[in-house]
Structure formats: C-alpha cells, structure tokens
Structure 1
Amino acid sequence: MRINRGTNPADKECMKKFTQWVLDIGDNEIERAVDGAFEDDICIPAEFCNVGNENYINDMINNTFPEFAQHFSEPTYLSERAILTPTNSTVAHASLTDIMTFSRFSALSDLNESRYYWTIRVRAQAIWQGINVQTKVFCGLNIIFINDANHKIHAFIAATLCDKFKTDLVKGGIYEISNFYVKVYNGDETYRAIRSAKHMYFNNDTVCTKEVDTGLKIQPLSLDLHCLDDLEILKNDNRFLIDVVGVIDGKPTKFEYKTDGVDRSNVKFTLTDGSSYVNVTFFNEFGDSLLKALEPKLKEHVIIIIASAKISQWNDEVNLTNDPATRFYLNCTHYSVNTIRRSIAESTFYVSTEIEEIEKEVPKVTIKQLLGLKADYIQRTVCVKLSMKKIDKTMSWYCNYCIPCNVDLKLENYRFKCPKCGRMKPYPDRRYEFFMLCSDETGTIPVMWTDDELTRFTGKSVYDIRAVGDGDKFPPILLQFEKKCYTFTVRVSKENVLEGSNVYTAEKVSHPEEISATHDPEGKISLAIKPTDNSQISSKFQ
C-alpha cells in the first residue's frame, strides 16, 4: 500500500502517523473501543476524520477522483485511485455506490458543442408536440429536462426519431440519456421556454433509459419565477416565455365563438400576487382543462403556477396567454405556493398602496378637460359622461386580429398578416372594434368599445352575429346604443397625451340612460380623427 507523500514537513509527519496507524490495525495492535457495538470495533483518532462537513463523502470522492466524468474511461486514472471501506454494507450505508455512479453523469451546465458522447440523468418536467404553424405538420417532440442541481435544458426529438422514444418518455419520468448533440441558440429564436444559451438534440445514437427514482433526488419542478411587476418591463421581449405564480382572483369566465365555422373558446381570469394584477387568457382545450381542474377547488383560494406563459399586450395593457409549452399547477407543493398560502393565513397577502387608493377615486371630466390632460395622467383612468345620437351604419364594426400577439392584422396583397409576428393569417380571428361618436356640452370624441364590453351588452360575439346576420353588413343589434347616455371609464394612453390621438378606449361602460336631446353641434358632424396604432377607422366620421 502506498500513501501519497506530503508537500511539507507537517503533511509528511501526518502521513507517517497515519501509515503507522493503518499498519497497527493490520497487526491487531489497536485497542478495542470500550463502548463499541461489536467486539472488533476500534476508535478512529479525530485527526484522521473529516465528519464536520455535511458533504464529507462528496469531498472524499472529489479529492480521490477529481474530474471523474472526464476520465472515468481511462484505465490508468482508475488504477491509481481507490476508496477503502471495511465491508460492502459500509459502502451501501455511505451511499458510495450511488455517488460514484452519478459522478459519471455530466452537469447540464457543463454541456457544450465539443462532443456528443455526454451522459446525463434528468427528469422530464414537460413534454409537448412541435407543430408547424403554417402547414400543421408534426415536427417532433419538445422536452424540458431538469437535473438534481435544479438546472434545466430544452431538448428536441425530430419527428423521424419519435417512434424510438415516445413510448418510454412520460412527464415526470427520470431518465439516463447518452449520446446527444448540444447546440447554442442563434439568438433570433422567439418564445423559448428556458432562459438558457444552449439546447440538446437527440440523434440515431441517443440512448434514453428510464430509471426508478432511487438515486439523488430530482425535484418535480424547476421554475424561473418572475414578479407580476416584471411583466411591464418584459412585455417587449419576445425571446422567452415566463414563469409566474399567484392567486386566481374571482371566477374564470369562458367565452365561446366560431372561426370560419370552427368552434373555439377562451377562458379569462385575473392573476394577483397580492399587490399587482394581470389578466390571463387560456385558449380552447387548454382553457377547458383549467376549468375542469378548478371544479373541486372552487371553495378555497386557488394558487396557480403558470410555467412558460406568453406575454402579450393590448391597448398598452399587459396580459398572459398560453403557448404549446405552457403548463399550469394548482395548489401544488412548491415553496412559492407555501409562501403565498402562509401569507394568506396571516392576512398579509393583499397589499394596498397609496397609489391604488388614489386610482379607485376615478376623477370625472368633460371632453374639453379630457383632451387637455397632461403626462401625469398617462395610464390613469377617468370617467366621462357622454351621449350618442346616431350611429353611422357604414362604419366598420369588427376587426381581424392575431390572437397570440393580440394585435390587429394588416391586409397585404389581399392577405392578412400580423405586423408583430409576421405570420400570414388565411383564416383570421375576429373581435369587436366598434367606434361611436360621442358628445357632451364641451365637445365630441370617438370612443372605442372593447370586445368584452360589447359582448356583455349584446350577449353575442362577432361570430354569433355574423352567423345569423348578413355577413359584414352593419348588424341592427348595435343600433341599440343610439339616443342613450353612458358613463365611460377610459384609460388615458401615451398616444392621447403625447401624440395628439383623440380616440379613447372605454374599459367600462355604465348602463345607459335614455336622452331626448343631444349635445352634438347642429347639422352634420365632421371630426378629424387622430387614431392610435390600434385603430382601424377612416380619417373622418360623418
């Protein structure tokens, strides 16, 4: 037996003492332990022990087998190193077998493009299909893998290889995966599920073996949680999806409609973290799955984690929608959920700020005052009481829009195109975009009603009206708003204050009051319109 030589006199003396002690054990010259459990138990001098450190076994392995993952296949490297234990049971007790086994797994943070014969041990946190948006053709499987260090990586299996792996790959399963490619993102990708600079690809040589969860613990979820306040900062960054957590405020509402004869739906709700609120919309089957999951939980606070949500915006208001990678978890076991649950129990979850109290007292203004508001009113709401005498039946009453991007489409060469994502929409989705020319004693402005408010007043969606009406012809049901007075709650935008736009969006509309007179000037009205970017209106209202 050889003992490494020390690098200084003190080390050499220590090695000499340790060597003699080991030899004395072999010669049966060590006294037995007085309080030992067995007759052959001996006492190990404290100077030869390193049990004060929680990870002393890891330290021992790392010192004996440095950079094991890079050298485990080299015979010389292994032949020069050994960890001695008295019995096999001691090996099992110290978990040396497991630790040595897992030392051959590479950390996700160490993966790079230099080779493909990597081996990792990971859990499949999420699996979803990749579908070509234009052709609807299946492209392959996407997986989010996490390891015992709680690191994540996005993996892709091409459609031609899926038959080899899809049977064994299940959400939550733990796998040993070997021989795969690692690539760095180009930088122009959008809506990535993980904020990592690299991802992995399966190939024909890839081996994926499912394991029993008996080794080092891998958490079921690895999240990169953001505060809801961060969404305003991140709204223009479409590189990544986002993870958030909060309480569902109120009851989610389902809306059903048709697009070119196809039944569609969405489920809308508000998410809060106690101090901030954000609107969330889940579409079609994903929204239905949320409602189904909520059925047994309606009588309690529902804390939801939304992983890989997409940030979008409408009228400068941030909201969240679902992407194919999006997953939700209700009242799950996670530190963030436990923190919120404890905060609710201690009545410290909901936070009222001085700004919020001021916002509740919505000031009432006239049109003249509204048009004169300054920059300190940007993103604040005001109330204005207006009347409308007559609706122009020749005006547009709905728009075509891109649901994921939440923006109106533009017509280019007789085809609809989204100005944000650049995709062509041969069968565009539609929503109300209805402008009314409203007046009071101080002036006249165009007011745009939101899709939600018009659906609430009419009880019908655009698709319902077009299904029973005369195509694009102005529907009679919208004439019900004539000769009535409404109190509009409008949000003042930066376009209104800084760019001179006189088009205002009504976030809320009161129940109407019948009017017998009008504040409109005598004769026909010709009002020059300075629209916002969201407007689809002509340059004049007649």
Structure 2
Amino acid sequence: MATSNCETLRNVTTGRTDWKVKVRIIRIWRGSTLTGVPFKGFNLLFLDSKSCRMHAWVPAALSDKMERLVEEGKLYLIKNFQVQNYEEKAKYRAVQMDRQIVFTADTKLKEIEETDIFIPKNSFDLYEYADLKKVADQDLYLTDVLGFIQKMEGLSRNASNKVKLKFKITDGRKTINVTLWDAFAEAFEKDYMKENLEQPVIVIIASGRVTKFRDQLDICNYSPTKIYINYEHHSVARLRKMLKDPNFNKVQMPKKKKPAQVCTISEVQNASAQFIQEEVICKATIISIETTEIWNQLICTSCYRDTQMENNKQHCKYCSRIVPHPLKRFHVTAIAQDDTGDLKIILKDREIRNLIHKYVEELETEDNSFPKKIKDIEGSGYTIKLLITSRNVEKRDLSYIATDIVTGYNYIDESVQQKDSSMQTSTSAAEPSGSSIQLDEISQLDYATQ
C-alpha cells in the first residue's frame, strides 16, 4: 500500500470508502450483552499525528482476521473503510466525536515503523473535577479523569452478588468516589497490589462513566474504560511534582469554598485588592470579537504554556525544550457589555469549545482566516465567570480572563452574602441552572493548564 496522501482522522467523513490514515491503536476492547456475553466484534481507539482520537468498530465477520493483525500501541496504515455518523441512541461514546470508523471486507491494514510518522503514545481529554457535575448530567460521552488514590477498600459484593471495588481519587483539592465492577475490579486490584508501586499511586481513568447520586459524584467502569497506573504522561508527572511541593496542600486545598459573586461590569472594574485571585460572575452581552490573525495559540505538550518560534522551531522556555508537535488552543479577545459599561475578556480554549462545540483543527483554513463560527458568538447574552488578577486591580489592566461561560442569564441564588463596601454593591452567591457555570474554585495555575 502506498503511504502518501493520508488524511487526518478529523477530516474523514461519510460518503467515501477510499480513505487512508496513519494511526496508533491506543486501546482495544470488547463490549458485552446485558448478561455478560462478549460480542464477537471488537472496538479500537485510534490516535493520529494531530492528537485526534476516533473510535473504530470491527464487525463480527472480520474479527478473527483483524484480531490477528492488530496490537495495542503499534502504528498502522489503514486503508479502505467506512465512516458512519453515530445514531442518536448511541450512548457513552469513548471519545467526543460524532462519527466512527467501520471496517469492511475491503479494509487493509499494514504495520508501519515509529520513524515513519510521529504519533504520541497516548492522548487524554482530562476534565477538571469542577466540571464533572455537568458531565454527570449527560449520557453521550465517557470521560477521562486524573487523580491519586485515597482510601482504597477491598473487594466486596453487593446485594446482587456483584463484585465491586471502591476507592477515592483526588486532584489535591477535591475528592471523587470510584466504583469498579466485576472482572474489571478484580483485575485492577491485582495490578494495584503489585509491589514497588511509586507512592502516591496516580491513575488516569480513561473513558470512565461519571454518575451522580444525592449530589455525590462517582466514576465507574464501562466497556471502553481503561485505568493507567503511574502512567508515563506529562499530566501524571505534573501532579506528582505538585504533590512534592510542601505548600501544595495549603494552596490547593482551601478549607472553605467561597461562593462567586454576581457583579456588574462597573463593579468588576472597580474591585478592591481583597478580590485578587477571586472569581466573579457577570451577565453581559458580547458585542464584538476581535478578528485578528492570531485566534489560536501553540501550546507545549508538557506544561501547556505558550511556545515561541525560534530558528524555525517551536520552543518552550519553561521546559527548555523544542516542542516538535505543539497543541493548538483557542485564544480570542471579546468585548462584553452591560448597562454599566464594557470590558475586554479573554476567551480561551475550553470556553470557546463550550460555546461552539468545535476544536481549532476543525476551523482552520489554508489562509488562516478568522472563523465565522467564532464571530457568531457576537450579539448574544452570556453568564461569564471572570478571574480578577493582581494586574486588574493594581495596574488597572482592563483585560479579564474568562474561566467559564454559558449562553443566557439564568441562575439560582444559593445564599446571600453581606454587602461588600469595597465592591460598592449588594451581591449574592449564585449558580447558573442547568448546564451553567459551576462555582467551584479554580486556581489560576489550573486554568493555565486547560
């Protein structure tokens, strides 16, 4: 098979079968019936050089042949396959994609060398714990979560005689319950009980199912779920480095959550020093988006900070390294306005993706023109959570970072705080309803890594 003219996973669509892609197989699994009988067909998770992940299905008629050809972790050139849109009833998808690859009798597979193309060993879409409440309210996608293990319990059985294993994971600020079931639970406990595991044990739960019961969040395993223990990944290294910081617990684990305050734009601009590193909520209309040529940034794959071009290569000054394949993230400036004034807000990757449900790669054009999809944000009202920094207060920098944004103005008052003379307003603690902003505290450091 020729290896030229390969397409990226994000660009493969329905209507053709002559696609050709180079991918790494990062996961293989089989689903099962409600009674636990495994399906004959099996699933693959692909990763390409653009860090795009996509699910593939091998039907039962091809499973014996293909199972002999594929191996998790290896690179392949794959040719001649179908692309199908997911049906609406397709729940708990392994990755956030609206379509999947389906192998056919014409599909060809060829293993390729690591030197042929650079594709990372793995990729995860890790969620902040503060965002998991919203994730628990949907059943369309599974979720990737990082944390270190606390309070491991032994295997037990429930009233239906199903085996379960319960433990907690934490990111240093919040703790989430984890419940594993049946053979998956037994296999994980066996791996966890191995000697000489580096402590604390840090896990990545990939494609876990987030549920909520009586306001308690719980992550459980589903067919595509895989847990990586002390995995060699920059997110694990970063968390372990933070754990070694003697000030980590004091800085990252506040004893009392402080609710965000609802403020007008004028009140935000006149905030006093006591609001430095605090978040506030504004209800405002985005009246314009700055349509500059630079609407996205290149980000280091290790520390998630901006890279810079030096000698025709992208460098990260924080990691002191060349970054050959930096990540791309949205970075847009908007003007928000209410009855009291207007201010400049910085919308970063998560906020833009929450509004337009697209990645940078999906909006890129050959001439790098500013995407109309982003311009369409203009003219609507939003509930925006803003971070007030020392530059905003001490140097009167009028550019504010948005740490969350949702369409509309709906919110539910949870409590009323005392009038704050330094804000010169009577403000209330608020939480938008439905899919609105979560008011869990987000540090500036965490936001920089999204």
Q: Taking structure 1 as the reference length, what is the TM-score of the superposition?
A: 0.45
2:65 is paired with a residue whose SS is helix
1:327 alignment partner in structure 2: 226
- Deviations 1:88-139, CA, capped at 9 Å, x for gaps: xxxxxxxxxxxxx754211111101131011111111111112232683624
Is 2:136 aligned against 1:136? no
1:204 is paired with a residue whose SS is coil
1:292 alignment partner in structure 2: 190
1:232 is paired with a residue whose SS is helix
1:264 alignment partner in structure 2: 162
Larger Rg: 1
Of the three residues 179, 194, 209, the one matched with 1:281 is 179
Of the three residues 206, 214, 221, the one matched with 1:307 is 206
- Aligned partner of 1:319: which letter? D
* CA spacing shift, 1:288–1:137, aligned 2, 3 Å: closer
Q: How many Å apart are 1:290 and its aligned residue?
A: 1.8
1:120 alignment partner in structure 2: 21
Is 2:246 aligned against 1:347? yes
- Deviations 1:192-217, CA, capped at 9 Å, x for gaps: 00101111100010011222322222
- Aligned partner of 1:172: which letter? G
- Aligned partner of 1:346: which letter? D
User: Separation in 2 of the partners of 1:137 and 1:299?
Assistant: 34
1:211 alignment partner in structure 2: 112
User: Separation in 1 of the partners of 2:214 and 2:207?
Assistant: 23
- Aligned partner of 2:256: which letter? I
2:192 is paired with a residue whose SS is helix
Is 2:76 aligned against 1:175? yes
Q: How many Å apart are 1:171 and its aligned residue?
A: 1.2
Answer whether contact 2:155 2:163 (CA < 8 A) is retained: yes
- Aligned partner of 2:95: which letter? I
Of the three residues 140, 145, 149, the one matched with 1:248 is 149
* CA spacing shift, 1:184–1:291, aligned 2, 3 Å: same
2:132 alignment partner in structure 1: 231
1:287 is paired with a residue whose SS is helix
* CA spacing shift, 1:176–1:246, aligned 2, 3 Å: same
1:319-468 pair list within 5 angstroms: 319-350=218-249, 351-355=252-256
Q: How many Å apart are 1:186 and its aligned residue?
A: 2.8
Structure number with higher helix proportion: 1
1:367 alignment partner in structure 2: none
Q: How many Å apart are 1:256 and its aligned residue?
A: 3.2
Q: How many Å apart are 1:316 and its aligned residue?
A: 2.7
- Aligned partner of 1:122: which letter? V
Of the three residues 81, 97, 117, the one matched with 1:196 is 97
Answer whether contact 1:132 1:139 (CA < 8 A) is retained: no
- Aligned partner of 2:201: which letter? V
User: Separation in 2 of the partners of 1:237 and 1:209?
Assistant: 37
Q: Which moved more, 1:348-357 or 1:109-118?
A: 348-357
1:156 is paired with a residue whose SS is strand
1:144 is paired with a residue whose SS is strand
User: Separation in 2 of the partners of 1:158 and 1:133?
Assistant: 19
Instruction: Number of aligned residue pairs: give it.
Output: 257
Q: How many Å apart are 1:150 and its aligned residue?
A: 1.1
* CA spacing shift, 1:180–1:256, aligned 2, 3 Å: same
* CA spacing shift, 1:297–1:190, aligned 2, 3 Å: farther
2:85 alignment partner in structure 1: 184
Q: Taking structure 2 as the reference length, what is the TM-score of the superposition?
A: 0.54
Q: How many Å apart are 1:297 and its aligned residue?
A: 4.5
2:64 alignment partner in structure 1: 163
User: Separation in 2 of the partners of 1:223 and 1:252?
Assistant: 27
User: Separation in 1 of the partners of 2:36 and 2:254?
Assistant: 49
2:189 is paired with a residue whose SS is helix
2:7 alignment partner in structure 1: 106
- Aligned partner of 1:324: which letter? S
* CA spacing shift, 1:318–1:297, aligned 2, 3 Å: farther
Q: Which moved more, 1:349-358 or 1:239-248?
A: 349-358
User: Separation in 1 of the partners of 2:147 and 2:246?
Assistant: 15
* CA spacing shift, 1:288–1:356, aligned 2, 3 Å: farther
- Aligned partner of 1:180: which letter? F
Answer whether contact 1:131 1:140 (CA < 8 A) is retained: no
- Aligned partner of 1:187: which letter? E
Q: How many Å apart are 1:165 and its aligned residue?
A: 0.4
1:130 is paired with a residue whose SS is coil
User: Separation in 2 of the partners of 1:257 and 1:186?
Assistant: 34
Identity %: 28
- Aligned partner of 2:214: which letter? N
Answer whether contact 1:146 1:153 (CA < 8 A) is retained: yes
* CA spacing shift, 1:186–1:310, aligned 2, 3 Å: same
- Aligned partner of 1:132: which letter? T
Answer whether contact 2:30 2:38 (CA < 8 A) is retained: no
1:251 is paired with a residue whose SS is coil
* CA spacing shift, 1:137–1:308, aligned 2, 3 Å: closer
* CA spacing shift, 1:109–1:357, aligned 2, 3 Å: closer
User: Separation in 2 of the partners of 1:357 and 1:106?
Assistant: 48
User: Separation in 2 of the partners of 1:107 and 1:334?
Assistant: 23
- Aligned partner of 2:130: which letter? D
2:186 is paired with a residue whose SS is helix
Q: Which has the higher contact order (CA 8 A, sep 6+)?
A: 2
Q: Which moved more, 1:274-283 or 1:285-294?
A: 285-294
Structure number with higher strand proportion: 2
Aligned-CA RMSD value? 2.4
- Deviations 1:264-302, CA, capped at 9 Å, x for gaps: 311110010111111001112211222222222466111
Structure 2 unaligned blocks of 5 or more = 260-413, 415-450
User: Separation in 2 of the partners of 1:284 and 1:338?
Assistant: 30
